[in-house]
Amino acid sequence: MSHPPFDLYAFWRTSATFRVRVALHMKGIAATEHQVNLDAGEQRGEAFLKINPLAAIPALVTPDQPPLTQSMAILEFLEELQPTPPLLPADLYGRARVRSIAGMLASDTHPLVTPRVRRYLTGSAGFDDAAWRAWQMQWFGTGLAAVEQRLASEAGTGRFCHGEVPGMADICLASIIAVMRVFKIPTSGTPTVDRIVAACEELDAFQRAQPQRQVGAPT
């Protein structure tokens, strides 16, 4: 299937960019990446604010259309653009379950540990590095523990978060683990999560999206 040319505004280590990279790789859709250096504050520059006034990445841009922002909206867009291989199961309840688990990770967990939250806490709330690390460990740990409880107890869980093929929930789960590794935040007490992430990391699409393999990653 032919697609319009896509430009992906990205940064090497972010969880949200990881999600979009995996989906693009899974579906075989090419995108030209443009690096937005979050550490240098490029996301707050005038040029990027025209793409996303919230100063957040990723953004997926195609000619003659407004930029697409928010990683989950981009995943849904890619799913509708090219339904195979699917990121969502065929049945109504299964799709809701996958979206629910994905939301626990991408909507409830990840937003608490983004650069703009760190910028506020360290700049206005008196957080030093130790306090910020404790904050990360608290909210990463809380989110993963809740997901582990669901995955370990619900019948829908298989080799992956839902059944025997990877999808949107697995992308979100792997994206959280990937950024935790970047920041050296340990995981513990999550054997089901660990097993599913290991299964994801056997797949080429997940391997190619790993932060350390991206342009701009430290060598």
Average pLDDT over residues 92-117: 97
Q: Which CATH architecture has domain 92-211?
A: Up-down Bundle (1.20)
Q: Where are the domains of the chain?
A: 9-85, 92-211
Average pLDDT over residues 96-115: 97
Count of residues for the chain?
219
How far is Cα 212 from Cα 61, in angstroms, rounded to an integer? 24
Q: Identify the CATH homologous superfamily for domain 9-85.
A: Glutaredoxin (3.40.30.10)
Token pair recorded at residue 169: 């929930």
b (16+ CB within 10 A) / e for 115-131: bebeeeeeeeeebeeee
Average pLDDT over residues 15-37: 97
pLDDT digits (tens, 9 = 90+) for 141-168: 999 999 999 999 999 999 999 999 999 9
Would you say the pTM of this structure is higher than 0.85? yes
pLDDT of 189 above 90: yes
How far is Cα 162 from Cα 46, in angstroms, rounded to an integer? 41
Q: Are 60 and 68 in contact (CB under 8 A)?
A: yes
Token pair recorded at residue 208: 């190619």
Token pair recorded at residue 86: 């699917």
pLDDT of 217 above 90: yes
Average pLDDT over residues 183-205: 97
pLDDT band per the 50, 70, 90 thresholds, residue 182:
very high
